[in-house]
Structure 1
Amino acid sequence: MKVAVAGLGWWGKQIIRSLGNSTKFKVVVAVDPMVTDDGRQFARESGVELAADLAEVLGRSDIEGVILATPHSLHEQQVLSALEAGKHVFCEKPLAMTADGAQRIVDACARQGKVLGVGHERRFEPAIVELMRMVRAGELGRLLHMEANVSHDLFRKLDPSNWRLDQKHAPAGMMTAVGIHITDIFVALAGGASSVRARTESLVFPDPVRDFTTATIAFGSRVQATISFLSVTPFHGRIAVFGDKGWVEIVSQGNVDQGLPTRLTHCSGTGVPPMERVYEANDAVLANFEAWADAVAGLGQYPFTAGELVDNIKLFEAIVQSSERGGEAVAL
């Protein structure tokens, strides 16, 4: 599939590097209205064209798909424009900033008959794949509770003007960076949320940048969850899922782009020694893109339903609202 990548920042470059290892993609052009000298050099070395105007690229007949790695508040309109131009779209997370926006996107995809990809590569990590298989196979029994803390300090290196620290694009601290991945997994396992209480705080970053986010979530299935994310501490990644027949804990050693192993621990009963498995890192980013390409080609089903995508943004929006209201409960 011949594609354009919009956004030539850190993650846009990472996407182009990953797609360079695939026979299913050819990145034709990178789009960025404010490209840096480093971006120009990267484009030359990667053998891709540079363009400043996404609308111009959407008019090109040689572009089959568009990949968006742009500031978050731009996603909805850019996705809708790409669909209107007849392109398949892969959008980095979050898909939209509101549930209504996410619904407009999935409805437009259905009307246009296009496949929507989304940047939730964590579902393609081997340990997460195994966790989801175990839960869906009933190996943990009835699902009861889920919890996660995924934190890192990469944002401390950013210039204060970076859009990733802007509340317009990245409200509720780390929710748009790492939290939205966790809620995607939890929604896939437990269904849509019914209520949430969330708090954020500026402990290290200057206000209004939030460096701490925590939330308690109730799902319609009556499963409960707690999540917390910090953007000022060395990397920590832990997800745990509990059922009435056992639990699973997943501990990651590094971010998805660092190529480090992940440990999965499974306890099936009191007094039964837990089983541990170590999963070597895969290119989960590329696995996600190739699943999207296969779905576009009619060779497989992309493993995200429209309902899951909208329910995840509903939960994200509720977390933002609750945190802005000092932890007030928000019903979905």
Structure 2
Amino acid sequence: MSSKIRCALVGLGRWGELLVEAGKQAESLEITAVVTRTPSKVERYCADNNLQLTDQLNNVLEDDDIDALIIATPHSQHFEQLMKAAECGKHVYCEKPFTLNSAQADEALSALAKSGCKVAIGHNRRFAPNTLALQQLIADGRLGELVHIEGCFHANMAQASGKWRDSVEESPAGGMTSLGIHAVDMLINLMGPITRVDAESERIAATCAFDDHTSARLRFANGGKGQLTTLTSTAMRWVITVCGTKGWAEIRDLDKLTFSPTEGALEENTYPGFDYPGLASITAALQGFAGDVLLNQPYAVSPHQIAHATAVLQAVIDSSLSGESVDL
């Protein structure tokens, strides 16, 4: 393998184009090919960006010049594509959610591991500077013992009406697969494993076929508790708040951090260059994937955390349907 991993992007929608742009800035990764169901829609884009174009996944799976897949397709397609990647020995960077249920996640992760393939998940918010600073506050003990965490990710998803996300099959429990899974990953990252989920999901003002208000009460292995909320019928909002015995800290968007200690002055920080969509954070995630493939440097999200987040996603779905809490 060369000093760069060569990737085929599977799926070229709005986020796929962001991945292409982010990939241009990655030192150890390059996107050289695109797989899409309708090549005619992206012929000009691929020509302008010097990308090989095909509508057949097998063409890139059988190409020895392709080291890895970057999967940015509809959620329900991920599992089959992950399994094919494992079969052909291709490393994988997969957009979230990894799969739509826990059994599929476990099977795909096992298959990739047995094939010696590296796997990464597209949680670019892990790489945002305010997230890294919050992690350091926690590691330094400045929050004390963590007792509570809250996460919300909202957006106006009206534009999804009539498109592939607009179904309960692709978007179970409302915004959980498109938005809330980011918050799930961040809560796991900061607070640790989740052991109980008690969720509700319903349509209040939705214009799409899926729910627009989903929330869950959470219990963590460390004894702390939490709250998760995702709305799909309001303006964009990303906030994570962590409360400890020495104070609370909050990240907003990808570039703001507030720390309020029980003793001392409020601290506020802004990190320029990371306003939405935070292209630099996507580049960092892709570069992290390349570092794992080339140098065996562990990716920020471990396979175990990928599996656990998928189990939490399934628990939110199951709890919201049954009206009962789910233990993990």
2:293 counterpart residue number: 296
Per the TM alignment, residue 264 of structure 1 is displaced from its structure 2 partner at its CA by: 0.8
State yes or no: 1:172 paired with 2:173.
Answer: yes
Match of 1:265 in 2: 258
Asked whether 1:156 is paired with 2:158, we answer yes
Aligned residue runs from structure 1 range 1-332, under 5 A: 1-37=5-41, 39-153=42-156, 155-158=157-160, 160-206=161-207, 208-252=209-253, 262-270=255-263, 272-280=264-272, 281=274, 283-298=280-295, 300-325=297-322, 327-332=323-328
Q: CA deviation at 1:137?
A: 3.0
Q: CA deviation at 1:191?
A: 2.3
In structure 2, the CA distance between the partners of 1:176 and 1:36, relative to structure 1 (3 Å rule), is farther
CA distance in 1, matches of 2:110, 2:140: 31
Deviation at 1:105, TM superposition (A): 2.1
Question: Which ranges of structure 2 fall in alignment gaps of 5 or more residues?
Answer: none
The two structures, once aligned, show a CA RMSD in angstroms of 1.6
Contact 1:136/1:189, CA 8 A, preserved across alignment: no
The two structures have a TM-score, normalised by structure 2, of 0.93
CA offsets 1:306-326 (integer angstroms, 9 cap, x no match): 22111111101000111122x
Q: Report if aligned partners of 2:152, 2:183 keep a CA contact under 8 Å in 1.
A: no
- Residue 299 of structure 1 and its aligned partner are, at CA, apart by 5.6
Partner SS, residue 297 of structure 1: helix
Moved over 3 A (4+): none
Query: What is the aligned residue count?
Result: 319
Contact residue 26 and residue 286 of structure 2 kept, 8 A: no
Q: Which amino acid aligns with 2:21?
A: R
* TM-score after normalising by structure 1: 0.92
Contact kept, 8 Å, 1:8 with 1:35, in 2: the verdict is no
Counting aligned pairs with the same residue, the percent is 29
Structure 1 unaligned blocks of 5 or more = 257-261
Q: Does the CA-based 8 Å contact 2:149-2:191 persist in structure 1?
A: no
In the TM superposition, residue 106 of structure 1 has moved relative to its aligned partner by 2.0
1:277 is matched by which residue type in structure 2?
A: N
Deviation of the 1:36 alpha carbon: 4.8
DSSP 3-state at the match of 1:323: helix
Contact 2:23 2:30 in 1 (8 A): yes
- Note the C-alpha offset of 1:219: 1.4
Q: Structure 1 68/244 Cα, relative in aligned 2: closer, same or farther at 3 Å?
A: same
